[in-house]
Structure 1
């Protein structure tokens, strides 16, 4: 049964705090000027951490394990679509009031378990194992991971690299509830997608999801599904 996209356990109140064009510990905004085919070009870009993502398949229940979470950037894109007047004036004073707030659900996305690469003393595999435990509650070892591939993400703005892994888990490997780290402000819901419904889910545009979900489900159908025991 496909998940419902109508519920998320909080609401957006009537005030957007404002827009801030600043860098942070996770994002560094930059601008480059260079000659490209004899033409002077200017590009804005962001320097962000590389990342890992993990396609998790629970063999006990024949389902994929995803995470669902609120993404402010997705929400703000929907706000601009429905309230374009808020973005016409770049003055923060005119940006603060939202008379008709959209429901939080419009900013919720289904994603693979993922995390940034910000621990230089750990390998990509070790970081991936930590993320699976923190976000989804499964205790996996490095040897449980299979690297699928790596690729560039956000090439127009960030150019960061993401490495995609595959992990098979069982119910016995689940040692916690997951949900991310509350002290870091993470609010993550673990979602299971039955294998039999996975491709229908992947192409259901009413359920917002990342390209990684669609790609990894397709990879699974090509590389793993044909080897599964037939019922």
Structure 2
């Protein structure tokens, strides 16, 4: 979970009150703060922030086979916001919990896809929804060997029911255009792979 910012980090922001609205699953806070605008005037603002902790994700790719390994699972928030069936295609990901980002993504990948990661490349960190969600997502890429894949599928006791999906890289890129892949982290990592990553030559 995030901590409150130090006053020295931005002298234009003075937090005056923090109220916890909910902590049933993660933490929803309403914060009141004074903000100094560019013209020098001060105003009192309120924002609600949803703190679910930070996370990590990884694009699994097979450079020899020209494929990527994604997951598909039911995501209720996208289902309720007009996604056709809620079955969301995305890179393996998970919350850090008490681990560092590399440890967490190795754990999540093995649980979700059955792949035991070796080499791991840090690509970038992003804030997924900066208007309301505090989460920072650590994004990685890693090669995988199809012969070494395990069962995966997630942890049934936690309600996970995850399908592992192997796609040709070119097909995955086309699925961004058709909307079949609509997950932000997955789109960013696929585009990175085409522009600067393992499939740069193929994309050219």
- Partner residue of 2:100 out of 123, 138, 145: 123
- For residue 214 of structure 1, the aligned residue among 163, 170, 187 is 187
In the alignment, structure 1 segments of 5+ residues that lack a partner are: 1-20, 79-103
Task: Give the secondary structure class of the aligned counterpart of 2:81.
Answer: helix
Structure 1 residue 186 corresponds to structure 2 residue 185: no
- What is the CA-CA distance between 1:24 and the residue it aligns to? 2.6
Paired residues of 2:48 and 2:132 also in contact (CA < 8 A): yes
| Structure 1 residue 127 displacement after superposition | 1.3
Q: By how many angstroms is 1:75 displaced?
A: 1.8
1:50 aligns to 2:63 (yes or no): no
1:183 Cα deviation after fit: 0.7
Paired position in structure 1 for 2:175? 201
Match 2:120 to one of 145, 151, 158: 145
Where structure 2 has 5 or more consecutive residues not aligned to the other structure, the ranges are 1-20
* Conservation of the 8 A alpha-carbon contact between 2:154 and 2:162: yes
> Structure 1 length as normaliser, TM-score?
0.70
> What's the C-alpha RMSD, in Å, of the aligned pairs?
1.9
Which aligned pairs between 1:64-103 and structure 2 lie closer than 5 A?
64-78=68-82
Residue 170 of structure 2 is aligned to residue 166 of structure 1:
no
What is the aligned partner in structure 1 of residue 23 from structure 2?
Answer: 23
Per-residue CA distance 1:78-136 (angstroms, 9 max, x = gap): 3xxxxxxxxxxxxxxxxxxxxxxxxx9522211110010102xx432121111111001
Aligned residues: 176
- The structural deviation recorded for 1:178 is 0.9
User: TM-score, normalised to structure 2's length?
Assistant: 0.79
Q: Deviations over 1:115-162 (max 9, x none)?
A: 10102xx43212111111100111113xx1000011212111112111
Decide which structure has greater helix share.
1
Q: Deviations along 1:139-192, whole A, 9 cap, x unmatched? A: 113xx1000011212111112111001010112221x22111111111111111
Please tell me whether the aligned partners of residues 30 and 49 of structure 2 are also in contact (alpha carbons under 8 angstroms): yes
Structure having the higher strand fraction is 2
CA distance in 2, matches of 1:72, 1:227: 37
Q: Cα distance, 1:227 vs. partner?
A: 5.3
Structure 1 SS opposite 2:193: helix
